[in-house]
Amino acid sequence: MLNIDAIHLREINLPLAHPFETSFGVTTSRRILLIELESEGLTAWGECVAGEHPYFSDETIDTAWIITESELAPRLLEADVERGGDCPNIFRQVRGHRMAKAALENAVWDLEAQARRVSLAELLGGTRGVIPCGVSIGIQPSPDHLMDKIATELAAGYQRIKLKCKPGWDVNIFEAVRDRWPDITLSCDANSAYRMKDLENIVDWDRFNLLMIEQPLWYDDFYFHSMLQKRLLTSICLDESIRNRRDALAAIDMESCRIINIKVGRVGGFSEAVAVHNAAEERGIPVWCGGMLETGIGRSHNIALASLPNFSLPGDVSASSRYWTQDIIEPQVTVSAKGEITVPTTIGRGFEVQRDRIESITVRRQRLLAKARVTA
């Protein structure tokens, strides 16, 4: 039994090393909700990836804090918990709020790995000793800035370049990149910025030999993506549309995509992430691990997840230094010259938290205690 004695909620404020622009807007710093579990001398951590605004998801850090404090954490403290996989059932009465649920559930998986004295990757069923890494490059102030950024990331060894795009920042950009680097593995991510009126424009992207076009249409759509995929040679990858295993199966059966991006926070935690991975693997659909501007805590969880066998495409799990001047873990995540991250084999996440660093940037906190347990 995993006896959880206390749950800590912390909000930290962490500035990005560089602004990151998508079709949603520009992010220069992150308000981040961290979860810490205390259990019989062990401590485990989770990270909520909800943003400051309900743009990527209908969740925000503030809604996640409220639902965690008032609903999810009390349920977890009152439950008999044996493993991380118990959490979906513990939280089942609460609809939605998948990013809040994931922060708690992932911390429980971390706790279970420590209690079993295995690595988090091993506990999840990971088989990869290293994972291939790509990068996501936000919309830049100018094409020249973008070219410099791509050159830097290629020199660092990253195996796939993903370009954020939106109407007005697409065809001309793809042409310029392909003219300079005709053979690199290139993809794009629209974050739902296009509509069916843009269909002919998107179909024209076939000429750029993209690995995938990620979530071009509505964030909650399968049907119109299916129509678009039938017109494209390039694979569509779905991100926001895939909330769980059922969504993955529906998208695959409707031929709405040929690739799936799995973000552990988006689907509600490790249990559902593994279920989506398995569903895609059973049907021959490759998956990769997406990123949400996580700190090293969330990044360590992504590394463990990406060690599963069907994560066959380079994901967005990249080095800490790409996003943060100083991360909150030791050692910081690094990427080899081959564009790979070594999966930790030590007990738990494989990275220690910098508690002093976290304390110095904490702006809000709450501690919830378990009721006294009666033993025979």
Residue-wise pLDDT tens digits, 337-351: 999 999 999 999 999
Q: Active-site residue among 101, 166, 263, 371?
A: 263
Average pLDDT of the chain to the nearest whole number: 95
Residue 201 CB-half CA count within 13 A: 17
pLDDT of 31 reads 96
pLDDT of 20 reads 82
Task: Judge whether 263 counts as a catalytic residue.
Answer: yes
Nearest alpha-carbon partner for 15 in 1, 31, 39, 38: 31
pLDDT of 366 reads 97
Query: Pairing between strand 130-132 and 134-137?
Result: unpaired
pTM, full prediction: 0.94
Asked if the model's pLDDT at residue 23 lies above 80, the reply is: no
Q: Active-site residue among 149, 162, 164, 197?
A: 164
pLDDT band at residue 375 using 50, 70 and 90 as cut-offs:
very low
Query: Burial letters for 258-291: b for 16+ Cβ neighbours within 10 Å, e otherwise?
Result: bbbbbbbbbbbbbbbbbbbbbbbbeeebbbbbbb
Task: Judge whether 338 counts as a catalytic residue.
Answer: no
Q: Residue 16 in contact with residue 293, Cβ under 8 Å?
A: yes
Average pLDDT, stretch 214-226? 97
pLDDT of 18 reads 85
User: How does pLDDT run across 86-127, given as a tens digit for each residue?
Assistant: 999 999 999 999 999 999 999 999 999 999 999 999 999 999
